[in-house]
Amino acid sequence: MQITGEEKNELLKIVNERYGYDFSGYAEASIKRRINRFADINKFENYFDLRHHLLNDKNLFVSFILEITVNVTEMFRDPAFFKCLTHKIFPVLKTYSHRKIWHAGCSTGEEVYSLAILLYEHELYKDTIIYGTDINAKVVKHAREGIYTLKSMKEYSSNYIKAGGSASLSDYYTADYDSVIMNKMLKKNMVFSTHNLAGDTSFNEFQMIVCRNVLIYFNHHLQEKVLHLFYESLSMFGFLALGSKESIMFSKLRDKFEVIDKNEKIFKKIA
């Protein structure tokens, strides 16, 4: 099955009206590819069959959200980014008595725990709250639980060392057979909740916002809308960290930010 552009638009409109998820601003090629993949996996022969089942089977809709939203993540992903945070951003964050950090599009939470670990090692975590949000309720639940595979943690240890970790990654979790659970000490300053960047508003003022590898799946109009949301949510001189293929240089807001690190796409609000 191959969905047409008109069918895609109709389906996304119905999904928004029925479930409150707005995907209209997602990049055309990406969203069509993911819908077609979902239809193929579930063996729908045509668009009308897909639409009928999607609107009448809530469990199927949960699977649809998992397929449409991108949930690729790992602990200390791109170690150079985390190393840059510790060298260039943490010293500034240290000047605040309390800090609020928003990790938007946090998926299953690996990068939130990565950030918490480094903040802890630099004596910043005690007075910091990290808000992890994602449009997908299922991955938010996973992030809140903080349970991962032992095999993956062993792989993440290499990233942790490259990111400048000063202890052993195993200090931050408890192993139980083939799984691990992150320490309660890390969880106590985390707040996980659902948030739709396409439609929801700002909910706090933050000294840093991290949103990596999310904007690349949005069209230009939605990218601009989300960047304005981040701008409004940042305190003056707050930091915005994007993914390696993302930037604010083509945004109307570019003059309101200073480039802190060109390679790691970290910016500071200056106006």
Length of the chain: 271
189-232: per-residue pLDDT in tens?
999 999 999 889 999 999 999 999 999 889 899 999 999 999 99
Among candidate residues 68, 100, 115, the one where a domain is terminated: 68
Residue 38 sits in which domain range?
Answer: 5-68
| 73 lies in some domain | no
Are residues 103 and 57 part of one domain? no
Are residues 173 and 252 part of one domain? yes
Q: What is residue 198's predicted lDDT score, i.e. its pLDDT?
A: 87
Are residues 16 and 90 part of one domain? no
Are residues 245 and 124 part of one domain? yes
Among candidate residues 68, 94, 117, the one where a domain is terminated: 68
- 71's enclosing H/E stretch is none
Helices 58-68 and 47-56, axial angle in degrees (round to 10):
110
Half-sphere CA count of 103, side-chain side, radius 13 A:
23
- The sign of the CA dihedral 28, 31, 36, 37 is positive
Dihedral through CA 159, CA 160, CA 161, CA 162, nearest 10? 50
Are residues 128 and 38 part of one domain? no
pLDDT at 29 over 90: no
pTM of this structure: 0.87
| 74 lies in some domain | no
Number of domains into which the chain is organized: 2
Among candidate residues 68, 88, 114, the one where a domain is terminated: 68
38-56: per-residue pLDDT in tens?
999 999 989 999 999 988 8
CATH of the domain at 229: 3.40.50.150
| 59 lies in some domain | yes
Structure tokens at 51: 């639409």
Q: Please, where are the H alpha helices in 94-199? A: 110-121, 137-145, 150-162, 184-187
| 133 lies in some domain | yes
Q: 3-state SS of 89-134?
A: HHHHHCCCCCEEEEEECCCCCHHHHHHHHHHHHCCCHHHEEEEEEE
Are residues 144 and 198 part of one domain? yes
